[in-house]
Structure 1
Amino acid sequence: NVGDNVGDVAGMGADLYESYCGSILATAALGVAAFSGVSDKDYFMQLSALFLPILIAAAGIGLSVWGIWQVRTQEDASQRSLLAALARGINLSTLAIVGVAVVLTFLLLGWSHIGVSVSVIVG
């Protein structure tokens, strides 16, 4: 029945949203725990590690929307040109989030922890 399918689709969307938020919050908690200490510098690093995954996720959402706007085709486009247009949007937004992750990691944690951005890129 149609109502059952609509409920299933809405439930899947809620599950995806919960997983997305859970991964961001878990990463923030791990970041804070990684810099536990008593000095003022540790406190600043904890705050930076708390906000880094939130800022990267926010940038990812914005760049995903930007990537959608990069997809352009002709009215009578072939299958190949349609796929190329989609690949262009995906690749541009992917490259942009790689750059943003490196810049945000450098600004918040410094060069000594730039490897954090590598884990974002690999993941």
Structure 2
Amino acid sequence: MGIDCRKIDDFGIGTYIRGLLTAMAGVEYVAFGPHDLDLPAGIEHVIVDAPKYSIRELFRVGRGVKIDLFHAPHYVVPFVDVPFVVTIHDLIAAGSSRSAKRYVVKSLPNSDTWKKSP
């Protein structure tokens, strides 16, 4: 499995990523992130040299190693050719405009499953 760890230093999403990495001790995964990523021993690290929110990140994250599943802990999902999981922490922006509401209403039914947290 590959995990996008580029936002590990952010407050909310970073806290989620750090907790996820800690909880996954003993699970084989690849972390995609910046040069200075502090990971548990034995975890493969693929350095991603693409700016956040860039076209380049869509093509670089998730590449370079064989993975069976990709986890994007942020709504930006790169172009990966494996199944992926995306965690969306906050949908407030989806309610702020008509176009965003239409996008969410059209996109969620295309998901295999989705769960609203309490």
Normalised by the shorter chain, which TM-score bucket?
A: 0.3 to 0.5
Larger radius of gyration between Structure 1 and Structure 2: 1
Q: TM-score by structure 1 length?
A: 0.32
Q: TM-score by structure 2 length?
A: 0.33
Answer 1 or 2: which has greater strand percent: 2
Answer 1 or 2: which has greater helix percent: 1
